[in-house]
């Protein structure tokens, strides 16, 4: 596949089938179709995708979301298709999400991340996130603890 264009844009219903596939691949089916539809409709949700356009079609390869809660951005999802990881796309997507949060006047950002998800933790640390606590057995499927990370915007 020859890549021509990489885009970051707001998720619409047009891409939901591809987003569900990416969610299943990266998270094991964390959110349902109805969950994504609610996120699209919610004024407090910012759901971005990364797409690549080839000669044949447009493919969703990244997904990121935050919720606006009072003065903070709560990052809920950040994923890049395994075939496109380690190319800086996670940095690109996280940067865009934080930029949108700042543009909305939000003051802080927070998230939970699996304590053994070292690649994600490293990415968040590059953006200045600091550990603020831990949620014991946060991930029901694995029983893994989650680190709570915060940063000022």
CATH code, domain carrying 80: 3.40.630.30
How far apart are the two ends of the chain, measured CA to CA in Å?
A: 37
User: Which residue range forms the structural domain that includes residue 104?
Assistant: 5-152
Q: Which residues of the chain have pLDDT under 50?
A: 1, 3
Question: Which DSSP helix (H) or strand (E) runs through 34?
Answer: helix 33-41
Give the pLDDT score at 135.
93
Determine the distance from the C-alpha atom of residue 91 to the mean position of all C-alpha atoms in its chain, rounded to a whole number.
Answer: 11
Looking at residue 129, the DSSP 8-state letter turns out to be: -
Q: How far apart, in whole angstroms, are the C-alpha atoms of residue 146 and residue 141?
A: 13
Which residue in 36, 56, 124, 144 is the catalytic one?
124
CA 44 distance to own-chain centroid: 15
Please state the domain count of the chain: 1
The reported pLDDT for the residue numbered 55 is 64
Q: Is the pTM of this model over 0.75?
A: yes
| 112 included as an active-site residue | yes
Per-residue pLDDT at 134? 94
* The token pair that represents 15 in the structure block: 């891409």
- Distance between CA atoms of residues 138 and 147, nearest Å: 9
The pLDDT of residue 29 is 87
Catalytic choice (39, 41, 112, 138): 112
pLDDT of residue 1: 46
- Picking from 81, 90, 91, 137, the residue whose alpha carbon sits closest to that of residue 112 is 137
Please give the pLDDT value at position 64.
Answer: 97
User: Which pLDDT score, from 0 to 100, does residue 16 have?
Assistant: 94
Mean pLDDT of the chain: 92
């Amino acid at each position: 596949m020859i890549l021509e264009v990489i885009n970051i844009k707001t998720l619409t219903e047009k891409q939901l089938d591809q987003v569900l596939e990416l969610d299943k691949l990266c998270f094991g089916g964390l959110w349902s179709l109805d969950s994504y539809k609610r996120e699209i409709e919610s004024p407090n949700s910012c759901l971005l995708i990364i797409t690549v356009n080839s000669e044949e079609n447009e493919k969703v390869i990244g997904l990121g979301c935050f919720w606006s809660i009072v003065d903070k951005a709560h990052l809920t999802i950040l994923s890049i298709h395994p075939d496109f990881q380690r190319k800086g796309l996670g940095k690109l997507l996280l940067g865009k999400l934080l930029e949108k949060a700042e543009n909305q006047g939000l003051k802080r950002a927070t998230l939970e991340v699996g304590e053994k998800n070292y690649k994600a933790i490293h990415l968040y640390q590059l953006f200045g996130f600091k550990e603020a606590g831990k949620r014991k057995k946060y991930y029901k499927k694995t029983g893994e603890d989650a680190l709570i990370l915060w940063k000022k915007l």
